[in-house]
Amino acid sequence: MSRVRVGSVELTHPVMTASGTAGHGAELAAYGELNSIGAVVVKSIASFEWAGNPAPRVHPIPQGMINAVGLQGLGVQHWIEHDLPAMAAVNATAVVSIWGRSVDEYQQAAQLLQDGLSSSPHRSTVVAVEVNLSCPNMHGHGIFAHDINMSAEVIAVCAGLELPLWAKLSPNTDQVVAVAQTVHEAGAEAVTLINTVVGMVLDPETGRPVLGNGGGGISGRAIHPVAVRTVFDVHAAIPELPIIGVGGVTSGWEAAELMLAGASAVQVGTATFADPRACFKIAGELSEWATRHGLTEVASLTGLAHRGGLSPS
């Protein structure tokens, strides 16, 4: 009753982890059965090793946090050699998130991933690639997902991958519907909505930004209504495009809310920092919520808010 489809990908459950918020993935096995959630979306990786932004990189805010980690990581090759076998060993289903600073670098990441997976015994652990077009913390580089043509170009060069592509978009633009349409036409099977909301917090003692990068991305419950609205608007405009909803999900109801707005699946990010069991807990709560509301399939929640909502029981 909990299985869902995101385009061509079938998941055992709609709840997944969100990129960058669940360590390397395999650690989560200490807190729950990884085959009871849909997938673990790994931290975005590039074709090269990247140091990320200066510390401090994270700071709590009421109802969430602000971060400017800046995509620190050891790169695709390292992930295939070290993290993928560890994830396979704990029966995780992986979605690999990739990034780059140019169209060419996205293509290189996609190519390295393709080459590495084709010779890996763990290839079947990976079910999709999420192309991160929306990191707000890259000093000196704009957000790709704010540029319709650039977003389409990135997806087009990654479309040679044998795996389904999901495009992760930004809520920090009024162009999100147009970008979603364009990346879909360029080859993305689904869109992931949303990445963090740009923001800044100043230190009351120094009067300067608390984060080493200056600004950062806000996540957690504070942004949940932004995620619901973005998912709702994109689903209303492009109902045939599968959406993965993410942003401030801390309970089964908030996961259901994103599905009612139009998401086929949901990711849990910041809640995991407060409780490493969060995604397992939320997955259970979502299934219970659906049962309590008389739904035999969780998948039938998708887009119901556009069709009169839940029938009165």
Q: Which residues are catalytic?
A: 135
Q: Which residues contact residue 173 at a Cβ distance below 8 angstroms, ignoring those fewer than 6 apart?
A: 143, 145, 146, 179
Q: Which is nearer to ligand FMN, 161 or 295 (CB)?
A: 161
- Site pattern 69..98 for ligand FMN (x: CB under 6 A): x-x-------------------------x-
Q: Which is nearer to ligand FMN, 9 or 135 (CB)?
A: 135
Q: Which of residues 273-312 bind ligand FMN (CB under 6 A)?
A: none
**Distance from C-alpha of 122 to C-alpha of 79, rounded to nearest angstrom:** 12
Q: Which is nearer to ligand FMN, 261 or 295 (CB)?
A: 261
Candidate ranges 66-74, 101-109, 201-209, 276-284; the one touching ligand FMN (CB under 6 A): 66-74
Q: Is 213 in the site for ligand FMN (CB under 6 A)?
A: no
Q: Is 219 in the site for ligand FMN (CB under 6 A)?
A: yes
Q: How far is the CB of 18 from ligand FMN (least distance, A)?
A: 3
State the number of binding residues for ligand FMN (CB under 6 A): 26
Give the one residue of 151, 172, 182, 195 binding ligand FMN; rule: CB under 6 A. Answer: 195
Output helix, strand, coil percentages for the chain, rounded to the nearest 5: 40, 20, 40
Residue 11 sits at φ, ψ, to 5 deg, of -115, 145
Q: Is 38 in the site for ligand FMN (CB under 6 A)?
A: no
Strand-pair partners of 268: 17
Residue with tokens 């729950």: 32
Q: Which is nearer to ligand FMN, 44 or 108 (CB)?
A: 44
Do 289 and 283 form a contact (C-beta atoms < 8 A)?
no
Q: Which two tokens stand for residue 127?
A: 């079910």
Q: Which is nearer to ligand FMN, 21 or 107 (CB)?
A: 21
Q: Which two tokens stand for residue 246?
A: 């993410």
By C-alpha distance, which of 209, 205, 184 is closest to 58?
Answer: 209
Q: Which is nearer to ligand FMN, 263 or 295 (CB)?
A: 263
Do 170 and 143 form a contact (C-beta atoms < 8 A)?
yes
Candidate ranges 61-69, 153-161, 176-184, 253-261; the one touching ligand FMN (CB under 6 A): 61-69
**Distance from C-alpha of 271 to C-alpha of 247, rounded to nearest angstrom:** 10
Helix 278-292 to helix 252-261 angle (10° resolution) is: 70
By C-alpha distance, which of 163, 168, 129, 154 is closest to 246?
Answer: 168
Report the C-alpha dihedral over residues 204, 249, 113, 68, rounded to 10 degrees.
0
Report the C-alpha dihedral over residues 259, 263, 264, 268, rounded to 10 degrees.
-80
Give the one residue of 2, 132, 230, 302 binding ligand FMN; rule: CB under 6 A. Answer: 132
What is the number of the residue whose Cβ is closest to ligand FMN? 20
Give the one residue of 269, 285, 287, 299 binding ligand FMN; rule: CB under 6 A. Answer: 269
Q: How far apart are the first and last CA of the chain?
A: 20
Q: How far is the CB of 68 from ligand FMN (least distance, A)?
A: 9
Give the one residue of 14, 16, 20, 163 binding ligand FMN; rule: CB under 6 A. Answer: 20
Q: Is 247 in the site for ligand FMN (CB under 6 A)?
A: yes
Candidate ranges 76-84, 109-117, 204-212, 246-254; the one touching ligand FMN (CB under 6 A): 246-254
Binding residues (CB under 6 A) for ligand FMN: these are: 18-21, 43-44, 58, 65, 67, 69, 71, 97, 132, 168, 195-196, 219-220, 223, 246-249, 268-270
